[in-house]
Homo-oligomer: A and B are copies of this chain.
Amino acid sequence: MTQANQKVKEQFNHFLSKKGLKGTLQRNLILDAFLDLDRSTHIDELYLLLRGKHPTIGHATVYRALRLFAAAGVAREINRGDGLTRYEVASGGKRRDYLVCIDCGTVTEFDNSTVEQFQAEVAGSMGFSIQSLKIELRGVCNHCKAQQG
């Protein structure tokens, strides 16, 4: 358990008590698995993962837990347009910047200082308070370009 993960768990517990909700074994197990995975995932993946160790945990519980994590601000929903709702740990920034290769399907995350500049400019000119930003670039990655000659 990293210190960052410990902090996330505290944040979630604080959210629960603030809302009069209960801390349960299942919620703890699901949150642990979610944090341990440390990458974006979706309900069924997490469900199957947990199912191995804790056969009693149900699909609906995983579903509800992930939504609760999102409501608590410790997780974030991702929609990549593939019909699946993914979740990732929300800590550290609110950006989601992807390069999606239309050839091999690889999804690369990137971080470019231009993004911040871009964000500031749009916010200024449109009078818009930006809360989150999602940029998805689709194209052909270096590797696939090389393969195609």
Contacts and interface: CB of A to CB of B under 8 A. Distances in A.
A111 B128 CA distance: 14
A134 B100 CA distance: 11
Nearest to A134: B136
A72 interface: no
Contact of A139 (B102, B118, B131): B131
A128 B114 contact: no
Given A118-B118, A136-B134, A141 B112 contact: no
Given A79-B79, A81-B79, A131 B122 contact: no
Nearest to A120: B114
Interface of A: 77, 79, 81, 99, 101-102, 108, 110, 112, 114-115, 117-119, 121-123, 125-142, 145
Contact of A121 (B77, B112, B130, B142): B112
Given A79-B79, A79-B81, A81-B79, A129 B139 contact: yes
Contacts of A81: 77, 79, 81
Contact of A138 (B108, B134, B145): B134
Contacts of A137: 119, 122-123, 128, 130, 132-134
Nearest to A121: B114
Given A79-B81, A134-B138, A138-B134, A122 B114 contact: yes
